Amino acid sequence: MDKIKVLFVDDDMVLGNIVTLALEDSGYEVHYQTSLAGIKMVVKEMQPDIMVLDVEIGAKNGIEVVPELKAIVPETPVLIVSSHVESENVMKALEAGAVTYLKKPFEIVELLAYIQRFVKTFRVKGLEVGRLHLKAEESLLMKGDETVRKLSTLECKLLKMLALNLNRTVTREQIELELWGDYVTESSEQSLNNYIAKLRKYLVEDKRLELATIPKVGYKLSDGE
């Protein structure tokens, strides 16, 4: 497999150089820059596997550019790093499309763990789900050439996780961590219930598929084989 490509944008050059060297030593291909200048063109040309953005980048805000970058590479996870730990910033980042918010100062091993975790999930471009097919890059659930459903980002992540663990139980804790990272709230439980209910409706296109609730544990997607 080709090297995982990391786009890292942070105007702290000392930190930037340390992170770049650490990632390269760990086998990643890294493009590091200190500003958001030309960032859209960089993303188009590089097609990164993950993007790591600071919040304050010069006079600009990294969170605000996330939707624009996700429009170019919708399947690429975005990791926000910042010393600003206010819950308002965290919520804005997650609502903009970031997968998690890593607070500075952080240990390099912590950043590496997040990159490995999210790239592993997002690098899967397509999955067979029984007689259906999940086109992860476009968040489309297909049946042959017919679109069954255009999924939301979280619906797609959830179905992908269940499909990658076909015929195996996935715990609620694992799912919540995958969908909301370290920012699971009291409302997350009901949100997960709603997403499961929606996926069940979509999956009726293949009668062999069963999305079962494992009481007090989690969920299991089975293909009837």
Q: What is the pTM of this model?
A: 0.59
pLDDT of 5 strictly over 60: yes
Instruction: Name the residue ranges covered by the structural domains of the chain.
Output: 5-122, 126-222
pLDDT digits (tens, 9 = 90+) for 23-75: 999 999 999 999 999 999 999 999 999 999 999 998 889 999 999 998 898 77
Length of the chain as a residue count: 225
DSSP state letter for 180: H
User: Has domain 126-222 been given CATH number 1.10.10.10?
Assistant: yes
d(CA 218, CA 167) in angstroms, rounded, equals: 13
- Other C-beta atoms lying within 10 Å of the C-beta of residue 68: 14
Q: Is residue 96 within 8 Å of 63, Cβ to Cβ?
A: yes
pLDDT digits (tens, 9 = 90+) for 198-217: 999 999 999 999 999 999 99
Given the candidates 2.30.30.830, 3.40.50.2300, 3.30.2130.10, 3.40.50.620, the CATH classification of the domain at 5-122 is 3.40.50.2300
pLDDT of 103 strictly over 70: yes
**pLDDT for res 125:** 58
Whose structure tokens read 């490995």? 116
pLDDT digits (tens, 9 = 90+) for 142-158: 998 899 999 998 899 89
Domains 5-122 and 126-222 fall in the same CATH topology: no
